[in-house]
A = this chain, B = another copy of it.
Amino acid sequence: MKREKPQLIINGRRLDGRAPQDLRPIKIEVGVLKNADGSAIVEIGNTKVLAAVYGPREVVPKHQEQIDRAIIRCRYRMLSFSTPGERKSPAPSRREIELSKVIREALEPAILSYQFPRTAIDIYVEVINADGGTRTAGITAASLALADAGIPMLDLVAAVAVGKVNGVIVLDLNEVEDMYGEADMPVAAMPSLKRITMLQLNGVLTPDEFRQALALALDGINRIYQLQKDALRRKYVEASE
């Protein structure tokens, strides 16, 4: 977090006009690619993330295979022009390597991997435009792409970040709030099972603020969950028309 903190909340409103507990506008589309077994695009504010899933399929290289379960492979990646500022180098950054793991581990608890021994389920998360919340949008999109691919899951996984900005706990940080805020806490959960599958905190919170932030995140996750289900229903209805 940087030192110079611009005023990000004025008269109880954030710079983009939202109240602290508001999500940004969300647009979800499922089944956007022809070749992938499953795919989805999630837009939340100016953040736009594409997720694609292949599998269960044969494991290459073979030595990665596990005899009792499907392996999950996941890559999170930012396209070179997706970020503000200079062109991002296409070489995987340490951040991208970490987030690929974090996203995989956010999804693993939901996937019924033991139904598909000796196979791989590949998840590709491509960030098309980054304006805060790309990992959480990526998880939300990837879980839909898994559903679109027909992979059995205990529940969808939905995700959103909460944070602390000018001393206020707020939902769904955008890039400016993430950069100049005091804390950023991305959370993922299987909403109907109340299981938290991802939790990170960058920044400092008191124990009380942490509890408050976690509650707000779960509330936001429930709202996103409804949109996920709508999007799947929409695709199903369209397909069966």
Contacts and interface: CB of A to CB of B under 8 A. Distances in A.
Interface string A172-186: 000000000000000
Contacts of A61: 63
A61 B61 CA distance: 12
A60 B61 CA distance: 13
A94 to B, nearest CB: 13
Interface string A24-60: 0000000000000000000000000000000000001
Give this chain's copy count: 3
Nearest to A60: B63
A60 B63 CA distance: 10
Nearest to A62: B63
A64 to B, nearest CB: 12
Contacts of A63: 60-61
Contacts of A60: 63
A71 to B, nearest CB: 17
Nearest to A61: B63
Interface in A99-150: none
Interface in A58-108: 60-61, 63
A128 B61 CA distance: 36
A214 B61 CA distance: 45
A58 to B, nearest CB: 12
A155 B14 CA distance: 74
A91 to B, nearest CB: 14
A61 B60 CA distance: 13
A30 to B, nearest CB: 34
A176 to B, nearest CB: 35
A116 to B, nearest CB: 22
A100 to B, nearest CB: 21
A23 to B, nearest CB: 42
A204 to B, nearest CB: 29
A89 to B, nearest CB: 16
Interface of A: 60-61, 63
2 contacts: A60-B63, A61-B63
